[in-house]
Amino acid sequence: MTPALSVLDLVPVRTDQTSADAVAASRSLAKVADELGYRRYWVAEHHNMPAVAATNPPVLIALLAAATSRIRVGSGGVMLPNHEPLVVAEQFALLEAAFPGRIDLGIGRAPGTDMLTRYVLRGGATSAADDAVTKFPQYVEDVATLMHPDGVEMTVGGRRQPLRATPLAGSVPTIWLLGSSDYSARLAADRGLPYVFAHHFAGHGTSEALELYRSTYKPSADHPEPRTFLTVNAAVAPTVEAARRLALPQAQAMVALRTGGPLSFQRLVEDAEATPVAAAHQGMVAAMLTRWIVDEPISARARIEALASDFGVDEVMVHPVAGAHAGTDRDAVPAREETLRLLAA
């Protein structure tokens, strides 16, 4: 069976781009995904990173949903410890009201940032940030309850008052729990929620997390069966050699992230080729490119189908990691668009 395809976007910022260019490029990429029949388009939440413009998922979701007509748009994900549950509930209830039936709220537990930014996001209270992680299960429940059309009633100052994320909800976003360990798998199974393991980032532990989720799943009214899909990094081009060249800037960025190296804007392909990876890290790059879908179209599609079969999913979310050549228009990502087109062909 051919799995449905979806897209994960971190809104990467190249050395030749501004934030405005990167957002414009992602808007074009979302339109391509919409036209090609991709199922959903998710944007991540990362802060204070030179090469990532996806800092605020609700704002990006509004821009992308307005630029498309059919595809589901969501967060992959909102890092809940960074935010108050009511704020998240209000944002996504309003997005669902504007684009009914098209909004996904993917929620993660990791801060998705450095300690300084985490400190600032929580108003300078380190203890509040730590407390938010501890209270993550309750925060998930709070967001879901507040987005429900009935909301909640609370007693404050001796008065009982209703509290709702939006005055009269006609529908609610689908909540997904995201993770790269078994914590969210256990929580999603216990709460009867859809779940996604970050296979594209972790690269291992996927089978164990999905088995844990499925085997311990407790059916809920909205989701009587466990629901999950797979995420994978991909760069697809007419030839394997071309695909490997396009994947090199992202591979170098991941080496820097995982080895504590300096983070910078995403290099152009030619600049990445002119900056050899240190010998000590070449094995890491080779391992990443093996796990990623870096291939020509026929083989790439076959590998995605094999992954879907191996992990028992009917959907694969592609993170298009193809870089750009020198001279590419600043507000364009033709290689990322080509990856989506070649996979959907």
Q: What is the CATH number of the domain that holds 24?
A: 3.20.20.30
Check residue 317 and report its DSSP letter: E
Q: What is the mean pLDDT of residues 40-65?
A: 96
In the chain, pLDDT over 90 holds for what percent of residues?
Answer: 85
Rounded Cα–Cα distance for residues 340 and 297 (Å): 10
Q: What is the mean pLDDT of residues 5-33?
A: 98
pLDDT value for 294: 98
- pLDDT interval class at 130 (50, 70, 90): low
Beta-strand pair 152-156/159-163: antiparallel
The pair of structure tokens assigned to 129 is: 């940030």
Q: Render 104-121 in DSSP notation, one character per residue.
A: EEEEESS--S-HHHHHHH
pLDDT value for 196: 96
Does the bond joining 123 to the residue before it have cis omega, within 30 degrees of 0?
Answer: no
- pLDDT interval class at 11 (50, 70, 90): very high
pLDDT value for 180: 87
Token pair 């971190």 in the structure block, residue: 10
The pair of structure tokens assigned to 82 is: 């960074």
CB-side exposure of 283: number of CA atoms within 13 Å? 1
Neighbours of 116 (CB within 10 A): 10
Q: What is the mean pLDDT of residues 99-119?
A: 87
- pLDDT interval class at 128 (50, 70, 90): low
pLDDT in tens, 264-316: 999 999 999 999 899 999 999 999 999 999 999 999 999 999 999 999 999 99
- pLDDT interval class at 199 (50, 70, 90): confident
Return mean pLDDT, the chain.
94
- pLDDT interval class at 156 (50, 70, 90): confident
The pair of structure tokens assigned to 76 is: 């992959």
The yes-or-no verdict on residue 106 having pLDDT over 80 is: yes
Q: Render 241-263 in DSSP notation, one character per residue.
A: HHHHHHHHHHHHHHHHHHHTPPP
pLDDT value for 344: 97
The yes-or-no verdict on residue 50 having pLDDT over 90 is: yes
pLDDT value for 299: 98
How many domains are contained in the chain?
A: 1
pLDDT value for 292: 96
Q: Which residues lie closer than 8 Å to 127 by C-beta, 6 or more apart?
A: none
pLDDT value for 273: 97
Rounded Cα–Cα distance for residues 289 and 273 (Å): 15
Least confident of 5-9, 23-27, 111-115: 111-115
The pair of structure tokens assigned to 275 is: 């900056």
Q: What is the mean pLDDT of residues 257-262?
A: 91
Expressed as residue numbers, the domain containing 268 is: 4-344
pLDDT value for 290: 92
pLDDT value for 111: 72
Neighbours of 305 (CB within 10 A): 14
pLDDT value for 336: 98
